[in-house]
Amino acid sequence: MSYPQPPQVHHQPPMPPPAPQNGLGTAGFVLGLVGLLFSFLPVIGIVAWPLVILGLVLGLVGVSKANRGQATNKGLAVAGIALSAIGLVICVLWAAVFTKAASDVDRAVDELKAEADKQSVVLYEVTGEGTGASVTYSSYSDGGASTNDEDITTFPWTKEVTVKGLFSGGTLTVMTGADGGTVTCRITVDGVEKKTATATGTFSVASCSDF
């Protein structure tokens, strides 16, 4: 008497787990590291901007995949995020420095232009007692220099000169004659007194300079 054979059960081998998707986290780390290194270099460091930003994005995606069990390199992805963030901060600091430097240069250029277009009013004055004196006056600016001589017989004596450009100084020298006397020189620039001096005697010299 034969008995029926029991049905055979075929066991399927278990499916292998999906391979971890570590590419994005690794790429984020590499980009963050390279971007951080470039961020320390002035001017050339501009290439760090896209590297650190992309590294930050890929690092965040890598961490997200690791949290869902699709990747096994969470630590590497986190390191990429940290490196990218530091590099980004350095890039921002460099941008602030360059912006301030450019602003300072523009301001300096504007100031130089204003000085070049400036006009200063220089007033030379001589007062005193006596029969006369000899006067020499001059002014200096980036537009040039001028020197003039005059003999004066009456006091007070004044001369107003308009100087174009950046005024850098001037002189006023007064010398008494053979009859002596007392003379005082005075220079003002745009209404501000810059120098005054007095001399007494024969052929004495009052010098207003070095201001």
| Full residue range of the structural domain in which residue 159 is found | 118-208
Task: Please say if the pLDDT value at position 23 is more than 80.
Answer: yes
Tell whether 16 is covered by a domain. Answer: no
Lowest model confidence (mean pLDDT) among 33-47, 56-70, 79-93: 33-47
Greater model confidence, 191 or 42:
191
167's tokens = 């005024």
Greater model confidence, 63 or 19:
63
Tell whether 3 is covered by a domain. Answer: no
Tell me, yes or no, whether 72 and 145 share the same domain.
no
Tell me, yes or no, whether 37 and 49 share the same domain.
yes
For tokens 């969470």, the residue is: 74
Tell me, yes or no, whether 100 and 174 share the same domain.
no
Each residue's pLDDT tens digit, 95-153 = 888 889 888 888 888 877 776 677 888 899 999 987 889 999 988 776 667 888 999 88
Range 185-197 average pLDDT: 92
Tell me, yes or no, whether 58 and 97 share the same domain.
yes
In terms of average pLDDT, the best of 21-30, 55-64, 161-170 is 55-64
Confidence at 25, pLDDT banded by 50, 70, 90: confident
201's tokens = 């005697």
Closest CA to 90 of 129, 53, 130: 53
Give the predicted TM-score (pTM) of the model.
0.50
Q: Which residues contact 167 (CB under 8 A, 6 or more apart)?
A: 118, 120, 122, 139, 140, 141, 189
Percent of the chain with pLDDT over 70: 89
Range 62-84 average pLDDT: 90
Tell me, yes or no, whether 37 and 110 share the same domain.
yes
Note the pLDDT of residue 3: 57
Task: Please say if the pLDDT value at position 205 is more than 70.
Answer: yes
Strand order in the sheet with 182-189: 157-164, 119-129, 182-189, 192-200
170's tokens = 């001037």
